[in-house]
């Protein structure tokens, strides 16, 4: 069976996968579009897209598909360590990135997330998240041919390549939007167009605002056609209308096209917003989950080696749903950002205790066994304080007052706080805000350097390494943010650029300074100290099977709120992780070691330092922000 004009052929693997997944595809698709007379025509077109894109798929990628199908838990390996970066700010362009792969390998990174690289307007592009062409790369960065070549280089080095795919909206400069603006009813049907404000006003009753300061409202008037279009993020980002099956099929074609370029993981941006319904927040609706299930079932047929990452920065109970409801594997996304852990880590920095982390992580539902988290301390975006009020109350806090404390701490509005962040999208009515700022500046390094306080500098560096030690050992894939391995502080040059100055998130999106990066080779420098420590963390992680996400993890109560503790693995291979969150020494009682079944007569060792731990006096004292990875001698 083959289709004319295609170089490949349909093999038994494709036909078996189509047979195994077709019932799900049919059921999902028919549930999404139950009342359409043309649903069968669209379903036929969907299958033809699967066939066409599979026939275009390189044989090397089909071999990768086969290998990953045989080892579906490859994504759980402790050997995976990631970094997210802007290609232009990190290396100039794709050619420059290829030249810098040695730097990533030196650190130990083997999974790279390329921040938005698809074609977008020079202005009004939301940092690349307003896509004008899904099949072209931003010319300033390179070409799709260079992406395909880079993907081949990655596979030769056993590295994993991830890129962004914005599913919820396009730029108003996209071909579909341009045709809609010209009055083409077919392409107006690709978006949410309305003749007057009646329906938009109904939506606005329950729709929250993503950017209330810079982009208030959720609809934009298009004078050319005298209509309103939904634009939840910015007025130049038009929301796609997935109630139209043609939109689904167009985006499926794009997903498979990008997979065919060699992309291993697609980061699905803003997927929580994909289905709109009057009278709701139009976030996390069951139809949005059904859309992802349908995409996933289709990809299992045409490109099973390609995985999905959920970009859903929502409450813990909602994040977990983007893995799907299957316990042994995922029928939606294979990975998700552990935004909850990230928020809680910054809470521990401010409070120096584990109370909110403990009350929250004990109440986060379990993920499917075959899926995994991306754990991170910092990313390109702002930091939202998205913990549950109930969890804060269980930790002994007033939720509103605690958020006020955290915001003021992180922006340095408290005399003793060392944070040097800035408020982002402040809601003065609710007293809420998100936080911008680099990891190093939020962790106190910027203040220490400005004040030339060596003691504070040492504490800040310990804090930075401590935070990374948690994401490396906690369970999931640690994801570093480019520049954090060098302790880059806030870059205020964005204020001088009119195209960036309106958005203070650019303060933590600095261009890579490769002369500064060279300082990593001198261990006496700030850069050298942090780079060397992170390099060591990663090296140990990769050799320690207990850190794989297939291994168990459970939190341990050390009866000391300043200690974060958890066990990874089981039996003789387990690792007991203890972290001092405080900037003062704290004690770990030997009773805890007996309780966990360690044989203290044989002695215990710190996997990280290599030193035998001295529990004379029936306790071990951890220095400020020290962490120990305890194993049996």
Provide the pLDDT for residue 387.
Answer: 86
CA dihedral of 204, 206, 208, 213, whole degrees rounded to 10:
40
464-516 pLDDT, tens per residue?
999 999 999 999 999 999 999 999 999 999 999 988 898 999 999 999 999 99
- The SS3 call for residue 215 is strand
Provide the pLDDT for residue 327.
Answer: 67
Structure token digits, residue 238: 């038009």
Provide the pLDDT for residue 6.
Answer: 53
- The SS3 call for residue 301 is helix
Q: Which residue has the tokens 């041919």?
A: 145
Which residues are tagged catalytic?
269, 311
CA–CA dist 428, 249 (Å, integer): 42
Structure token digits, residue 628: 């120990």
Q: What residues are paired with 515 via a beta bridge? A: none
Specify whether the CB–CB gap between 355 and 391 falls below 8 A. no
List Cβ neighbours of 107 (8 Å cut-off, separation of 6 or more): 83, 480, 485, 531, 534, 535, 538
Is residue 5 scored above 80 in pLDDT?
Answer: no
Which of the four pLDDT bands, split at 50, 70 and 90, describes residue 325? confident
Provide the pLDDT for residue 328.
Answer: 67
607-616 pLDDT, tens per residue?
999 999 999 8
Structure token digits, residue 452: 């030339």
Which of the four pLDDT bands, split at 50, 70 and 90, describes residue 428? confident
DSSP result, 270-283:
TGGGSS--TTS-SS
- The one-character DSSP state at 484 is G
Report pTM: 0.95
Averaged pLDDT, 550-566: 95
Q: CA angle at residue 39 from 36 to 45, to 5 degrees?
A: 150
Cβ atoms within 10 Å, residue 438:
24
143-186 pLDDT, tens per residue?
999 999 999 999 999 999 999 999 999 999 999 999 999 999 99
- Give percent above pLDDT 70 in the chain: 98
- The SS3 call for residue 165 is strand
List Cβ neighbours of 514 (8 Å cut-off, separation of 6 or more): none
Averaged pLDDT, 420-437: 90
CA–CA dist 478, 468 (Å, integer): 8
CA–CA dist 574, 630 (Å, integer): 9
CA–CA dist 472, 387 (Å, integer): 22
- Give percent above pLDDT 90 in the chain: 87
CA–CA dist 415, 424 (Å, integer): 21
- The one-character DSSP state at 232 is S
Averaged pLDDT, 18-25: 96
Is residue 2 scored above 70 in pLDDT?
Answer: no
397-418 pLDDT, tens per residue?
999 999 999 999 999 999 999 9
Provide the pLDDT for residue 85.
Answer: 98
CA–CA dist 603, 88 (Å, integer): 50
DSSP result, 36-94:
-TTHHHHHHHHHHHHHHHHHHS-HHHHHHHHHHHH-TTGGG-TT--EEEE-HHHHHSSH
DSSP result, 585-627:
-EEEEHHHHHHTT--TTT-EEETTT-PBP--TTSEEEEPTT-E
Residue 582: closest CA among 399, 354, 328, 402 = 354
Provide the pLDDT for residue 329.
Answer: 73
Provide the pLDDT for residue 362.
Answer: 86
Provide the pLDDT for residue 164.
Answer: 97
Specify whether the CB–CB gap between 421 and 436 falls below 8 A. yes
281-308 pLDDT, tens per residue?
999 999 999 999 999 999 999 999 999 9
Least confident range from 155-169, 423-437, 471-485, 592-606: namely 423-437
């Amino acid at each position: 069976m083959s289709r004319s004009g295609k170089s490949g052929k349909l093999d038994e693997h494709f036909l078996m996968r189509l047979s195994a997944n077709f019932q799900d595809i049919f059921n999902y698709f028919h549930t999404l579009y139950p009342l359409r007379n043309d649903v069968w025509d669209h379903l036929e077109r969907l299958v033809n897209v699967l066939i066409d894109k599979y026939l275009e798929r390189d044989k090397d990628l089909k071999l990768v598909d086969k290998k990953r199908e045989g080892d579906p838990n490859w994504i759980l390996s402790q050997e995976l360590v990631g970094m997210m970066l802007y290609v232009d700010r990190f290396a100039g362009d794709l050619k420059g990135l290829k030249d810098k792969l040695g730097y990533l390998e030196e650190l130990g990174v083997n999974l790279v997330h390329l921040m938005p690289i698809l074609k977008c307007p020079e202005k009004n592009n939301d940092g690349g998240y307003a896509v004008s062409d899904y099949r072209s790369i931003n010319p300033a960065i390179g070409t799709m041919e260079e992406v395909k070549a880079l993907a081949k280089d990655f596979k030769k080095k056993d590295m994993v390549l991830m890129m962004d795919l914005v599913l919820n909206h396009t730029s108003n400069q996209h071909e579909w939007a341009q045709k809609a603006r010209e009055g083409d009813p077919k392409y107006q049907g690709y978006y949410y167009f309305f003749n007057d404000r009646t329906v938009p006003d109904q939506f606005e009753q329950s729709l929250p605002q993503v950017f209330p300061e810079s982009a208030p409202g959720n609809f934009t008037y298009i004078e050319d056609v005298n209509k309103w279009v939904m634009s939840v993020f910015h007025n130049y980002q038009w929301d796609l209308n997935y109630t139209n099956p043609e939109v689904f099929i167009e985006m499926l074609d794009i997903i498979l096209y990008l997979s065919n370029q060699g992309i291993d993981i697609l980061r699905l941006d803003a997927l929580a917003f994909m289905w709109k319904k009057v009278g709701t927040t139009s976030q996390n609706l069951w139809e949005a989950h059904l859309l992802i299930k349908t995409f996933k079932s289709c990809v299992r047929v045409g490109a099973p080696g390609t995985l999905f990452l959920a970009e859903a920065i929502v409450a813990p109970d909602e994040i977990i749903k983007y893995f799907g409801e299957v316990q042994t594997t995922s029928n939606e996304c294979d990975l998700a950002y552990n935004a909850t852990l990230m928020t809680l880590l910054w809470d521990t920095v401010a409070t120096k205790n584990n109370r909110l982390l403990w009350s929250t992580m004990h109440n986060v539902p379990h993920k499917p066994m075959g899926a995994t988290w991306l754990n991170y301390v910092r990313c390109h975006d702002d930091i939202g304080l998205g913990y549950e009020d109930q969890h804060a109350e269980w930790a002994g806090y007033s939720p509103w007052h605690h958020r006020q404390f955290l915001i003021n701490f992180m922006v340095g509005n408290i005399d003793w706080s060392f944070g040097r962040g800035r408020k982002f999208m402040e809601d003065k009515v609710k007293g809420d805000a998100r936080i911008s700022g680099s990891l190093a500046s939020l962790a106190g390094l910027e203040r220490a350097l400005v004040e030339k306080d060596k003691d504070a500098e040492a504490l800040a560096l310990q804090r930075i390494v401590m935070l990374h030690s948690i994401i490396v050992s906690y369970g999931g894939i640690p994801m570093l943010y480019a520049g954090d391995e060098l302790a880059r502080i806030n870059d205020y040059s964005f204020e001088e650029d009119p195209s960036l100055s309106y958005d203070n998130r650019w303060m933590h999106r600095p261009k890579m300074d490769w002369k500064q990066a060279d300082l990593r080779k001198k261990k006496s420098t700030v850069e050298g100290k942090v780079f060397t420590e992170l390099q060591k963390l990663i090296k140990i992680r990769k050799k320690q099977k207990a850190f794989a996400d297939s291994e168990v993890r459970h939190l341990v109560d050390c009866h000391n709120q300043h200690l974060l503790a958890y066990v990874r693995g089981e039996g003789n291979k387990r690792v007991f992780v203890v972290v001092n969150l405080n900037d003062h020494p704290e004690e770990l009682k030997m009773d805890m070691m007996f309780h966990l079944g360690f044989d203290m007569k044989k002695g215990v060792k710190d996997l990280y330092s290599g030193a035998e731990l001295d529990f004379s006096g029936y306790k071990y004292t951890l220095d400020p922000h020290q962490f120990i990875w305890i194993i049996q001698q």
